[in-house]
Structure 1
């Protein structure tokens, strides 16, 4: 299995080019990879505890060439550790390559068929929801949640599960900061909530956090720090 996974990685990092998009693997190989990734996700808690040094990455959105550029700049797994916060696929033309490479590293755009699509979807449903670095840095794709008052709540969530429109999981996945908001308000998008700086401070104080790292939004300067 280890040799097969290395072959998957080598094909994507050494042989891939746009002309070979979605042609390097058979459907059966990708289904096998999804099954193995799903088992890995299931074995992890819903809140992952991590230690630095670690590279925290935001949305990739199917931009495989950008993903390779990030690895080239910062170092490839497993030599360097990475935490990806979500939005791995869609929008970009090479979603399949992105998620296959990430899954292959984890275990060691259209999909091929409905069966393969469902395999990837089910693997997504098993993923952890967030991570904590050194107990003081919380990382997620979306944002903070008024519903989260203790980290034990996350451990009690049963997976696989879909993400609802409202509540704790919706906020961790889709919530956004809004400097015009005091506390929490329902998002105008109709899913999850928006939160203000005061809510962020209260959230960090209550949970003993010093920093929250999130993705989900495009920033002109690539990074924005709110204090």
Structure 2
């Protein structure tokens, strides 16, 4: 009998070259990932040291640069906070690599859900069309969007640093509220689960209505850090990217300036 990890290692090497897997391989990979993710909490505990990363949005070459700067997995413990797909040209390769690394090193990589890990949003912003273009049908899109339902909503680093894609909700008072959600569903249009993925910090104090039409704005009060890891977003914004390293003592260091995607 062959070594299943050997086959997975070969798939990871292929994906690191930005070469997509075939449909049956992706389906099997996502089934393995589901088994791992369904055992994780809505507030997934994470140990330090850890490198925390924000949106990638299909910018595969920038993800590769992020690993070059931050260290390869599993040498570095990573936490990604969602939005792996849409807008960039390589959403399939990006999310495939992260899922493969999650299956290979489940305790060294934590992947959360972002608002773009959704059936509705991916049909508008590129991932659905990319899957059709690269595979000739919507099967791969369906495989991934089914998997997205299992992604944890938030993470808690050493019981101190609360990490999530979006932000807070006026409907949520404690982390136990979040732990009690049934997350295995499409992202709702409203309500506390929606807020976790859509809300944004704001310079104004207190709660506000989000101009994005979902979630809320909330006051940062010098306790919020925003991390965005897609440089030159949409290949035209000219922004730098950043990641956040948290060491054993919970001290944090920003690393800024990942290069732009080619």
Q: TM-score range by the shorter chain?
A: 0.7 to 0.9
Is there any run of 5+ residues in structure 2 with no aligned partner, and where?
105-126, 232-238, 244-262
**Which residue of structure 2 aligns with residue 8 of structure 1?**
11
SS of 1:6's partner is: helix
The equivalences for 1:149-168 within 5 A come to 149-168=173-192
What is the rounded CA distance, in whole Å, between the counterparts of 1:218 and 1:68 in structure 2?
11
Give the secondary structure class of the aligned counterpart of 2:65. helix
Distance 1:97 1:105 in 2: 12
Look up the match of 2:81: 85
- 1:87-126 → structure 2 map (5 Å cutoff): 87-108=83-104, 110-111=130-131, 112=135, 113-126=137-150
Normalising by structure 1, we get a TM-score of: 0.83
Q: Report deviation, 1:223.
A: 5.7
2:166 corresponding residue in structure 1: 142
Instruction: Spell out structure 1 runs of 4+ moving beyond 3 A.
Output: 211-224
Q: For 1:213 and 1:105, how far apart are their aligned partners in 2? A: 26
Q: Name which of 173, 177, 181 aligns with 2:197.
A: 173
Whole-angstrom distance in 1 between the partners of 2:42 and 2:12: 26
Report the Cα distance in structure 2 between the residues aligned to 1:89 and 1:35, rounded to whole angstroms. Answer: 19
Match of 1:187 among 210, 218, 221: 210
- Compute the displacement of 1:217 (Å): 9.3
- 8 Å contact 2:227–2:242 — kept in the other structure? no
Equivalent residues of 1:122, 1:160 under 8 A apart: no
The answer on 1:76 being equivalent to 2:64 is: no
| TM-score (norm: length of structure 2) | 0.72
Indicate if the aligned counterparts of 1:141 and 1:216 stay in contact, CA closer than 8 A. Answer: no
Structure 1 residue 187 displacement after superposition = 1.0
Contact (CA 8 Å) 1:140, 1:215: kept in 2 or not?
A: no
Return the offset for 1:215.
4.4
2:202 and 2:169 map into 1 onto residues whose CA distance is 13
In structure 2, the CA distance between the partners of 1:169 and 1:217, relative to structure 1 (3 Å rule), is farther
Q: More helix by proportion, 1 or 2?
A: 1
Task: Pick closer, same or farther for the CA change 1:124–1:215 going to 2, 3 Å.
Answer: farther
| Higher alpha-carbon deviation: 51-60 or 161-170 | 161-170
Tell me if 1:133 matches 2:157: yes
Q: CA deviation at 1:52?
A: 0.8
Provide the C-alpha distance between the structure 1 equivalents of 2:31 and 2:166, rounded to a whole number of angstroms.
26
Using the TM superposition, give the Cα deviation of residue 155 of structure 1 relative to its aligned residue in structure 2, in angstroms.
1.5
Give ranges in structure 1 of 5+ residues lacking alignment: 202-210
Cα separation, partners in 2 of 1:161 and 1:214, compared to 1, 3 Å: farther
